[in-house]
Amino acid sequence: MGMRFEQDGIGAAALRLLAGTGSVIALLAAWEVLARAGVVSEFLLPRFSDVVGRIWEDALGGVLFVQIGLTVWRAVLGFALAGLVGIVVGVVMARNRGANWFFDPIVSIGFPSPKIAFLPVFILWFGLDDSSKVLMTVFAAVFPVIVATAAGTEGVDKYLIWSARNAGASERDILHEIVLPAALPQIMTGLQVALPISLIITIVSEMVMGGEGLGGNMIQAGRFADSLGVFAGIVQIAIAGYVLIKGMEILRRRLLAWHQETQQISTF
């Protein structure tokens, strides 16, 4: 958005990328300059180039991919389960008065409350391994999906449903073929809110519980006064988060190719 570039090949693509990430590059350059100038000690702020070097080292040894893979796996698994449960509960809430009576107050209380406060309970119940980290993630990420799905399902245009009924669709057809596709833009928005929450909660859980994974490693590095390791962890988390969010945006554009918002983007 904002600036426009002629679409004339790789040069323009590179220019677009630069325009989109210019502020990040400027920030990293400032970091490097500040660290090299010796304004603060290497321990408080290691050079960005050294941090990249550390990540490169970890990548060569293969450790990096194991750590990132573990964290992303937990976050994505938690996110997927939250999405599944959230969509089912949201649809049921919107279509069943009894379910709405039951879930609505729970969601109203649960959505704004800090879910991470339940972490000790999850540790108590499920131990320190993967399952408690994933379940903690599901618990934190499920609320925005429930709320978005319920709102989207309730808001489906009555005439779309009548139109399908007129064509001879059964009530089951209508749920799958009309209500869910019509609510998809809002469901996708709920999922887009849930994805960063999943990553955040997974990493915080790793930090508290320890063990393998980006969060656990960063806390470990902190304990050993390995400031390079701490900053490397931050950069790795940022990259993992960026890739996940971009992937989600691409998925949204694919699934909602019919939607007005997508066509405005594609005509740009």
Is residue 96 near other proteins by the rule CB under 8 A?
no
CA–CA distance, 199 with 213 (Å, rounded to integer): 12
From residue 234 to residue 263, what is the string marking binding to other proteins with x (rule CB under 8 A)? -----------------------xxxx--x
Binding mask 102-141 for other proteins (x = CB under 8 A): ----------------------------------------
Residue 60 CB-density burial (10 A; 0-12 exposed, 13-18 middle, 19+ buried): exposed
3-state secondary structure of 50: helix
CA 205, 209, 212, 216 torsion: positive or negative? positive
| Residues 40-79 as x/- pattern, contact with other proteins by CB under 8 A | ----------------------------------------
Name the segment binding other proteins (CB under 8 A); options: 98-106, 116-124, 133-141, 154-162: 154-162
Token pair for 25: 């590059």
| Contact residue for other proteins among 34, 85, 123, 164 (CB under 8 A) | 164
Please choose, out of 2-10, 35-43, 153-161, 197-205, the segment that lies near other proteins by the rule CB under 8 A: 153-161
> What's the one-letter identity of residue 259?
H
- Which of 166, 172, 225, 254 touches other proteins (CB under 8 A)? 166
Name the minimum Å distance from CB 234 to other proteins.
40
Q: Of 23 and 260, which CB lies nearer to other proteins in the complex structure?
A: 260
Q: Which is nearer to other proteins, 177 or 212 (CB)?
A: 177
Residues 6+ apart with CB under 8 A from 261: 185
Of 89, 187, 82, nearest in space to 139 by CA: 82
Cα 23-26-32 angle, rounded to 5 deg: 145
Tell me the C-alpha distance between 166 and 168, whole Å: 5
Tell whether residue 178 is a contact of other proteins (CB under 8 A).
yes
Structure tokens at 42: 């290497």
Distance of CA 95 to the CA centre of its chain: 28
CB of 178 to other proteins, least distance (A): 7
- The residue ranges that bind other proteins (CB under 8 A) are 157, 159-160, 162-169, 173, 177-178, 181-182, 184, 257-260, 263
